[in-house]
Structure formats: C-alpha cells, structure tokens
Amino acid sequence: MSVSFLRLWTITAVFHILVLISHEFISVVDGNAILPFFVGPDDDNAAVVNTVLDSSGASVTCEFTYHTLNKKSSLKNKLQNSINPNQQTHHRSMLKDPSAILGKLSGVCTRKTMDYWKYELCFEAKVTQGHGRDSNNLGVYVRMDGNAQVYADGSPCEALQDRVGRTSRVEFVCDKNLRLLSVEEISTCNYRLIVSTPIVCGHPEFSQASEIITEDNKGVEAQSWFLELTEMDGHQVACTVSTESDKPVHFERFELSMYSGSVELMPEMHQCRTRGRVDLNLKEKHYKLQHTDSNTRLTLSNGQHFQGNLDYVYIQAVPYNTGNNY
C-alpha cells in the first residue's frame, strides 16, 4: 500500500468519524454523556442518550420525551374557555357604548414589569414607565378612539427632533382577570398596551384575545436544552434535563426516563423545577418505578395539575445486581 494511498484512507476515515460525531451531537467525557437538543413551540419529540458505566460496565439510558404547545394557540384557548356565556349574552343584549363599559375602570390601576421597565396604567388618568429614579410619563388620558383609549402629551421624547410628548394607545381583550398583558413601543415614543378584563367579554366592539398578538406570544424561538447522563462517586447515576435559556416554552407534557437492561436501578432522589426555581408539587409531577422482563425503568413525568412551566428535571439512582451494589 503506497504512502499517499494510506494518507488518503486515513483522512477519509477521520472525516467520516467527524461527520458521525457531528450528526449525533453527543459529547462523552469520563463516561458522562451530554446531548444538546432544541425545544420550540408546537414540538413533539424525544432526546435519548446512553453510556457504559465505568464501575460496572453496565449500559444505562436516559430518555426525555415531551410535547410543547404553540403559545399563541394555548393563550387563545385559555381565554376563550374563561369567557362566561351568561356574561356574553348580557353584554350583547345591552350593547353598551365602549366608553360606557370602560368607564367602570376609571381610577383603577394595573402594573407590569417587562425587562428593565415597570409600567403602570391608571385608567382614564395616565400611563407611566419607571425604573428606580428614572421615570417617563407615556401619556395622559385624552379620548376614546373606537374601542381603545388614547393617552397623549407625555414626557418629551428626546429621540425625536421636535421632542413631542410620548403617546400610548390602550386596547382591551376578554379575560376573567384584569391584567396588563403587554407593552410594546410600536414606533419611537409611541406605545401600544393590551389589557385583559372581563367587562368586555362578548361585546362585538372588542377584539377577542385570539385576535391579538402580544410580546408574550409572538414567535417564541427554539431554545437550547441539555440531556445529561452522569456517573457520580459512590456509584450513583443521574439523568438531568436542563436549560440556560430565559425564554419560556410551554410544555403540555414531559417524561424523563432512566432504564437499563443489564442492572437493576434503585431510586434515590428526583426533582422537577419551574423557571422560578420552584419545585413541582405532588399533583404537578408523577414518579414511578417499573420492572419489566427486559429492564428496570424509573420515570418522572407531568402530573394532572402540571401548568406547563419547566426548567429542570432530575432522576438519581443506584445500579445494582442481585442485591449487591456495584
């Protein structure tokens, strides 16, 4: 075999190995396996990783299956289901002028914090934006524009050449709770606020929430998650699902499984957390151990009252054989 042919064969072999590794995206370090994967809205998928334990030579697998919702669709369904049919009939029969309906909110204030700024809307009064000592008036109430409220003559806008006052437009959608859903600067110093309230439910002059796209539900991008299988000191083995992203993805269901066809798995601990680092309670999660002819399987999944908020899932176990720990 010539040197040039051997060199070509070696380069080709290395290339195919690199392609295989890049295709699998699994990083293995000291027996621990890490698989990055992406989770987005309306996603029904699974991530699987396995490794051979250094302590026993046994093979253990971690598998994470999940289904996420399209946030815009879930918001639409949530708000539609919250409408009281009797309340709809009442409003349709009355057919009150929008200004008369919204007049019931006069003097009431609602607040929302978004990123750097905290916003406060006091109906038929003013809109403010603040952070610490920084504060801007986003407009005082001037008039109704159809079914929306207009606020104008706020703090001068330094970004505009004529330094005109800031303005805001407040739009209303149906929901069982009064909330400031979103604030969006649609053009320089010109703001759009969306408020939910039950007093407009069923009135034909108001858009329903399904027709409104807010900052909270317009185009949630896929985010990076990691599935990790770790062999720890003391011969424990752990499966971990986690993300470093701060963008929300709404899970309809999830299940993290650890299983092995060659050893038994003794459960040690498990944990599920929300994005607020709050542990899921017993009604929000379901943990079980299954023995089959082919393997032992530990599963941690969503419970009946799971709300869709997920940040971290963890299962830890000890592999053993015929009653003796490795």
Q: Hey, where are the domains in the chain?
A: 25-70+220-325, 84-201
What is d(CA 222, CA 1) in angstroms, rounded to the nearest whole number? 50
CB neighbourhood size of 58 (10 A): 19
The tokens for 68 are: 């996420």
pLDDT at 149: 95
Measured between alpha carbons, how far is 254 from 214 in angstroms, rounded to an integer?
Answer: 26
Q: Do domains 25-70+220-325 and 84-201 have the same CATH topology?
A: no
Q: What is the pLDDT of residue 39?
A: 79
The CA distance from 292 to 260, in Å, is: 11
CB contact at 8 A, 202 and 83: yes
320 vs 9: CA distance, rounded Å: 44
pLDDT at 313: 95
pLDDT of 127 reads: 96
**Any idea what DSSP says for residue 235?**
S
The 3-state secondary structure of 113-148, one letter per residue: EECCEEEEEECCCEEEEEECCEEEEEEEEEEEECCE
The partner residues of 114 in beta bridges, in order of sequence, read 117
**DSSP, res 200:** G
Q: What is the pLDDT of residues 194-251, one digit of tens each?
A: 998 878 876 777 755 444 444 444 444 567 788 888 888 767 899 999 887 777 678 8
What value does the mean pLDDT of the chain take?
Answer: 76
Position 190 scores a pLDDT of 95
Q: What's residue 256's pLDDT?
A: 95
| More confident site: 152 or 39 | 152
Instruction: Please check the confidence at residue 312 and state whether its pLDDT lies above 80.
Output: yes
CA dihedral 232, 237, 243, 248 (to 10 degrees): -150
What pLDDT shows up at residue 182? Answer: 87
pTM of the model: 0.49
Whether domain 25-70+220-325 has CATH 2.60.220.10: the reply is: yes
Nearest to 216 by CA among 109, 58, 78: 78
CA distances from 75 to 5, 45, 72 (A): 62, 22, 5
| Angle at 169 (CA atoms; ends 73, 81), nearest 5 degrees | 25
- With pLDDT > 90 as the criterion, what percentage of the chain qualifies? 28
Asked if residue 112 has pLDDT above 60, the reply is yes
Top pLDDT among 91 and 249 is at 249
Mean pLDDT across the stretch 61-90? 57
Closest by CA to 189, choosing from 214, 216, 220, 153, is: 153
The single residue listed with the structure tokens 């969306």 is 194
Q: What was the pLDDT predicted at 262?
A: 82
Relative to beta strand 167-174, strand 190-197 is parallel
Triad 109, 166, 169: Cα angle to 5°: 55
State the Cα–Cα distance between residues 21 and 29, nearest whole angstrom. 14
Tell me what the mean pLDDT of segment 109-135 comes to: 90
Asked if residue 88 has pLDDT above 70, the reply is no
> Can you give the pLDDT at residue 76?
43
149 DSSP β-pair partners? 144, 170
Output the CATH code of domain 84-201.
Answer: 2.70.130.10
Does residue 68 contact residue 223 with C-beta atoms inside 8 Å? no
Strand residues in 12-133 grouped as ranges (E) = 27-29, 32-39, 44-52, 59-68, 109-114, 117-122, 126-131
pLDDT of residue 239: 94
205 or 124, greater pLDDT:
124
Bridging pattern class, strands 296-302 and 251-260: antiparallel
Q: What is the mean predicted confidence (pLDDT) over 298-318?
A: 91
Q: Give per-residue pLDDT as tens, 8-49.
A: 444 344 333 333 333 334 444 445 677 777 777 777 778 787
With 50 as the cut, is the pLDDT of residue 91 above it? Answer: no
Q: Which residues contact 86 (CB under 8 A, 6 or more apart)?
A: none
Closest CA to 317 of 232, 255, 227, 228: 232
